[in-house]
Amino acid sequence: MIIAPKQRIRFIVNPIAGHAGKEEFPAFVDRYLDHDRFDFEICFTERPLHATELAKEALIEQVDVVVAVGGDGTINEVARCLINTTTTFGIIPSGSGNGLARHLNIPLNFEGALDIINQGHKVKIDTVNINKEVFVSIAGVGFDALVAKHFAKDPNRGFFTYFKIVAARYPNYKPKKYTLILDDNETVETEALFISLANSNQFGYNTTIAPDASLNDGMIDVCIVQKPFIFEMPLIINLLFLKMIHKSKYVNIHKAKKVVLIREKNRVINLDGEPIKLQKDLVAEVNPLSLLVIIPKDNEDFNPTEVILQTLSKTHQLIRSEIKKFIK
């Protein structure tokens, strides 16, 4: 009987991503990781971009699997180092919105996510180069980026913090003018509340901005969102949760392999949930099937109607929970 050698796995944990509780993570690894298959190490980040340093170090040391334990920002910091390599990327979602993990149907608890790592089912997904940076899930300009900027400065995390920022900033926000050039042959002039360049389908919290986005189609979903009247916002929010935002008259979605986005001013952009300053003009281009990721084996085998109902129920429960915390 031939015994396969153990794989080396490095968990890179962002202790301040999302909510507290990361100090319990090593105990979950001890209990639920398949120790017959893996030799593991756990590294906690200590500063911004430390996750990238630890991922580069893992590549040099020829670690087989590198796992990001955090939110979409942590995922970005780790994944960018593994693009176009043979190293496998894993996700243990523990951030605020967990947009990419939700798109991939990765469980939002340590036990369930570690079970997915044990199964080891791998697929290749697209990533997107934008100027000299990379995103795995979503990049955006406009109101979306403004919210990301203020969220990053807020000491509190969670859905209600997002809600609070949106409610405070939305009424006075003026849409900005943009020029988009799609695949070098189609020009779109627009004035928008925000524009999302979507590789995955959502921001997080199951708010789906690009319902038809696929991580392996070689395309960016370019979501142009006009500003609705404030009294229409409850309907717009429900469409986001129902994965039907593309049905709104305020939303137009184009698909392209390459997007040039020309702005009037060099404002901050949202890069996988994190605010960042790049050049004024942005060029985004798909890097097809460039990241090897562990995902659930049966993530396509589900009832869409049931998932929508479960999503709405869980989201409404979350909103009520967060509001109760706020008014105590």
**Are 138 and 94 members of one domain?**
no
Q: What are phi and psi of 312, to 5 degrees?
A: -60, -45
Instruction: Tell me which residue range forms the domain holding 183.
Output: 133-288
**Are 140 and 177 members of one domain?**
yes
**Are 113 and 139 members of one domain?**
no
d(CA 296, CA 90): 11
Q: Check: CB of residue 113 under 8 Å from CB of residue 235.
A: no
> What is the SS3 assignment for 151?
helix
For residue 230, the tally of other CB atoms under 10 A from its CB is 10
Q: How many structural domains are present in the chain?
A: 2
> What is the SS3 assignment for 163?
helix
Q: Which of 92, 120, 148 is the last residue of a domain?
A: 120
- We report the CATH number of the domain holding residue 43 as 3.40.50.10330
**Are 57 and 182 members of one domain?**
no
Which residues face 197 on adjacent strands?
139, 222
Note whether residue 181 is domain-resident. Answer: yes
30-57: burial string, b at 16+ Cβ within 10 Å, e else: eebbbeebbebebbbbeeeebbbbbbee
Note whether residue 311 is domain-resident. Answer: no
d(CA 22, CA 70): 9
d(CA 117, CA 88): 10
Q: Which two tokens stand for residue 137?
A: 């899930």
**Are 62 and 158 members of one domain?**
no
- We report the CATH number of the domain holding residue 203 as 2.60.200.40
Note whether residue 1 is domain-resident. Answer: no
Give the DSSP per-residue string, 282-303: EEEEEEEEEEEEE--TTTT-S-
**Are 19 and 105 members of one domain?**
yes
Residue 241 is predicted with a pLDDT of 85
Note whether residue 55 is domain-resident. Answer: yes
Residue 233 is predicted with a pLDDT of 86
Three-state secondary structure along 15-62?
CCCCCCCHHHHHHHHHHHCCCCCEEEEEEECCCCCHHHHHHHHHHHCC
**Are 115 and 163 members of one domain?**
no
What string of pLDDT tens digits covers the 328 residues of the chain?
A: 566 789 999 999 999 877 656 889 999 999 999 999 999 999 999 998 999 999 999 999 999 999 999 999 999 999 999 999 999 999 999 988 899 999 999 999 999 999 999 999 999 999 999 999 999 999 999 999 999 999 888 888 778 888 899 989 999 999 999 999 999 999 999 999 999 999 999 988 888 999 999 999 999 999 999 999 988 888 888 888 888 899 899 999 999 999 999 999 999 999 999 999 999 999 999 999 999 999 998 764 333 344 444 444 554 555 445 444 433 3
- Which single residue is written with the structure tokens 């967060």? 322
Q: What are phi and psi of 189, to 5 degrees?
A: -100, 130
Torsion, Cα 22 28 30 31, to 10 degrees, reads 170
> What is the SS3 assignment for 107?
coil
Residue 81 is predicted with a pLDDT of 97
d(CA 218, CA 216): 6
Span between the terminal Cα atoms of the chain, in Å: 62
Residue 323 is predicted with a pLDDT of 42
Instruction: Please tell me the pTM assigned to this model.
Output: 0.87
Note whether residue 299 is domain-resident. Answer: no
Q: Check: CB of residue 191 under 8 Å from CB of residue 175.
A: yes
**Are 43 and 145 members of one domain?**
no
